[in-house]
């Protein structure tokens, strides 16, 4: 089956620094990728949607200058949390789809990245 990986699985960084999270589709071309954020004991909240080679579309309330998303290839998307603060600590999950539209027809989730900002 389709596999999506995330790296790192866990990261601790100091307040004010930036951290990059990678999301890779290992055995298919991910035309569309999604980034979600999950707070403890809560549901997933969509942050942004990205199509390969295009700028990401951010959900309302998500700061695009703080959460930089790059989807430069059909197998890799990166989320960079810039000038991280403790309130950015969360579980970040990516998902990928080979489809451009109605991506949930085939959407595969990564294992998530636990970010802790001290």
Partner 1 sequence: AQSVTQPDIHITVSEGASLELRCNYSYGATPYLFWYVQSPGQGLQLLLKYFSGDTLVQGIKGFEAEFKRSQSSFNLRKPSVHWSDAAEYFCAVGLNNNDMRFGAGTRLTVKP
* Nearest CA among 4, 2, 1, 3 for reference residue 77: 4
- At which residue do the structure tokens 């790296």 appear? 7
43 or 87, CB closer to partner 1? 43
User: Is 104 an interacting residue with respect to partner 1 (CB under 8 A)?
Assistant: yes
Inter-residue contact 68 to 84 (CB < 8 Å): no
Q: Does 48 bind partner 1 (CB under 8 A)?
A: no
User: Rounded to whole angstroms, how far apart are CA atoms 63 and 26?
Assistant: 29
Token couple for 91: 């579980």
Q: How far is the CB of 44 from partner 1 (least distance, A)?
A: 5
Q: How many residues does the chain have?
A: 118
Under rule CB under 8 A, residue 110 binds partner 1: yes
Q: Which of 46, 62, 74, 76 binds partner 1 (CB under 8 A)?
A: 46
Which SS3 state, helix, strand or coil, does residue 95 take? Answer: strand
Measured from the CB atom, the residue of 77 and 103 that comes closer to partner 1 is: 103
Residues that bind partner 1 (CB under 8 A): 4, 6, 32, 34, 41-44, 46, 49, 91, 93, 95, 101-105, 107, 109-112, 114
């Amino acid at each position: 089956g389709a596999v999506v990986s995330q790296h790192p699985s866990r990261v601790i960084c100091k307040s004010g620094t930036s951290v990059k999270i990678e999301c890779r589709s290992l055995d298919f071309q991910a035309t569309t990728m999604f980034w979600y954020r999950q707070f403890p004991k809560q549901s997933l909240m969509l942050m942004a949607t990205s199509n390969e080679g295009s700028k990401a579309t951010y959900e309302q309330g998500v700061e695009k200058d703080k959460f930089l998303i790059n989807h430069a290839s059909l197998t890799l998307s990166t989320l960079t949390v810039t000038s991280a603060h403790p309130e950015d600590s969360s579980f970040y999950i990516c998902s990928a789809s080979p489809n451009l539209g109605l991506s949930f027809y085939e959407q595969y989730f990564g294992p998530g990245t636990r970010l802790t900002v001290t």
